[in-house]
Amino acid sequence: MDNVKARIEQLTKDINYHNYKYYVDDSPEISDFEFDKMLKELEELEEKYPEYKSPTSPTVRVGGMAASTFEPVIHTVQMQSLQKAFSKGEILDFDRRVRSVIPNAKYVVEHKIDGLSVSLEYVDGKFRRGSTRGDGITGEDVTENLKTIRSIPLELKDKIPFLEVRGEVFLSRDNFNKINQSLEALDEPLFANPRNAAAGSLRQLDPKIAASRGLDIFVFNIQQIEGVTINSHIEGLAFLKEQGFKTILNDRLFDTAQEAFDEIMRIGEERGNLYFDIDGAVIKVNNFSDREILGVTEKFPRWAIAYKYPAEQKETKLLDIKIQVGRTGVLTPLAILETVHIAGTNVSRATLHNIDYIRDKDIRIGDSVIIEKAGDIIPAVVEVVKDKRTGNETEFKMPDVCPECGAKVVRIEGEAASRCTGINCPAQRFRNIVHFVSRPAMDIDGLGPSIIEQMLSLKLIENASDLYYIKAEDIEKMDKMGKKSAQNLINNLEKSKTNPLYRLINALGIRLIGEKAAKTLSKRYKTLDNLITADVEELTQIPEVGEKMAKSINEFFTQQQNLDFIKRLTDAGVNCVDDSEDSAIDDRFKDKVFVLTGTLKNYKRSEAGKIIESYGGKTSSSVSKKTDYVLAGAEAGSKLDKANALGVRVITEEEFEEMIK
């Protein structure tokens, strides 16, 4: 047993060391394979001998159990915001205020990370609690999520009695792009910027989701410390780095406001080349005793100020407008520009969002335009210099067919986006396949996004119909796929051929048609051929199908590539017939509409919904005057409030069980 304990302790020590070298020092000494091998051995030993597992084991970084809510944390040292400056004059005013009290003050200047501010607390050198800033006085306990950030040390070099530090959680630009690509593939809303993505990730109730996002942190301040005396900011950051924290250590001291402002301008020039976002730079008085004399106001310290960089703008020429087709089929106009240097990078392209944006700003090919880096990331055309027009400029029109696949382009009324309707469009191939195999669609177990990406890169498939023609020996050659895994996948594909018709209809990815509408269409038309030949007028006769949905269905089935895709599926033996009888046990809920909200004790909401449908009832996602019942479980929210406001009958789970006896 002593050998096991010693091995666990050694593995923990080695993994923590290599974790620091990789995530903090950015100088790994071993391969990912060797690191993963050590981590796997530690996981197996801890599972077998849980009595030896430390609360600060590196294995906790994969994420623990999901929480139901975040507990409030009262900050004993207020996490204040900073006063802001937007000009050199405001920096000089700040300097005059400081020097009226501390004539010989010296400054440090550091990057202002654009992320989410957090507090990290350590007791006897071990990470005890982490919390968000909140309103500066009360934050939220996000300890389990913070443990998943590999640049946060779970144990310090020294057993300091108590230490509280402040840091900024952020997402690198690369990780932000990867997250949005994954969301786009699933047709889910994208994060607007890395800061929003970091905040959203850190506040996930399930730490496993936070762990998957690749969050990072820079620690920039000591809030409280016991057992160690620190006299200045530079000394403090050096100490924190020695203890295992990731910092941006700038050990230069600046004697004057002018020198500090020059450093701010230098940081501003390099910001476009950083791997993380900054929205400014911060000047701080270096000496802690000077800070105590200067003091704080109710909102911010008097010894620091943040300079906010303005969005840099440049004039250039718009040479052309090209169309980029996204993974969800959205056509985005892209401005092709004369290259211009802005915010540290050369820019030759900028998004034009959609045709409405182009029309509203009257943007034409050949115009002189003003561009800026929105959030210092995405270049955008913000203005046309109309005084420089020559009359040779040309108006832009959205194409009628997709430039990638030739399928018809449609724009649904009320939407800004124009979309390709082709199921075989190369630009949206990955997203279409991910949706096709997903649980609400064909439910093909073992076909995750990474497997699909491999299949596409190896040219084993071009679209989802090719999945039914793939061979086990081809799958065996893929990374991490052996003979058994390959055969299991083939078995799962074969099994999916017998799925109910509604699953196939949902899997086709017809715009505005989800699982519920697919069930309605399957039940109404009984065969896929019948649905294919239905016209808009006929489709709108179905109460659950509106005009937009009917047009979307009709447009989809007029595309030859979509019909070719369906033929490949039928040739492979995929079921295209609804041969089920009416599944209603009786019609006690006939014409009754239920809305489900909150957490039920004995059912998942999807299970309760199926029970309601089995008695002839319907479920809806929103409460209206047409709602008959709201089934409310624990922690029911706005839907319950709306039901009470509208006078809709609210029933408990117990009342529901009485109704279905």
Secondary structure in 3-state letters for 241-253: HHHCCCCCCCCCC
Nearest residue to 306 via CA among 271, 267, 278, 280: 280
**What sign for the dihedral angle of Cα 509, 621, 519, 530?**
negative
Quick one: 391 exposed, middle or buried, by C-beta within 10 A (0-12, 13-18, 19+)?
exposed
Query: How far apart are alpha carbons 491 and 332 in whole angstroms?
Result: 40
**Chain centre distance of CA 577:** 38
294 close to 305: Cβ distance less than 8 angstroms: no
- 535 token code pair: 């016209």
Whether the Cβ atoms of residue 507 and residue 435 lie closer than 8 Å to each other: yes
Residue 265 near residue 116 (C-beta atoms within 8 A):
no
Both tokens of 208, joined, read 């496993």
Structure tokens at 52: 């030896």
C-alpha span between 21 and 26 (Å, rounded): 6
Does the annotation count 317 as an active-site position? no
What interhelical angle do 449-457 and 429-437 show, nearest 10? 140
How far is Cα 494 from Cα 574, in angstroms, rounded to an integer?
9
SS3 state of residue 14: helix
Which ranges of 117-168 does DSSP label H, i.e. alpha helix? Answer: 143-147
CA angle 195, 369, 277 (to 5 degrees): 15
Tokens 């950015």 label which residue? Answer: 26
One-character DSSP codes across 443-465: --TT--HHHHHHHHHTTS-SSGG
Distance CA 276, CA 264 (A): 17
Structure tokens at 47: 């599972």
Query: Up-side HSE of residue 637: CA atoms within 13 Å toward CB?
Result: 4
Q: What's the longest Cα–Cα distance across the chain? A: 88
* Residue from 112, 246, 516, 618 carrying the catalytic annotation: 112
Residues contacting residue 653 through CB under 8 Å, at least 6 positions apart = 600, 601, 602, 603, 631, 633
Among residues 570, 567, 328, which one has the least CA distance to residue 429? 328
CB distance 423 to 438 below 8 Å? no
C-alpha dihedral (259, 116, 182, 151), degrees to nearest 10: 80
Positions marked active-site: 112
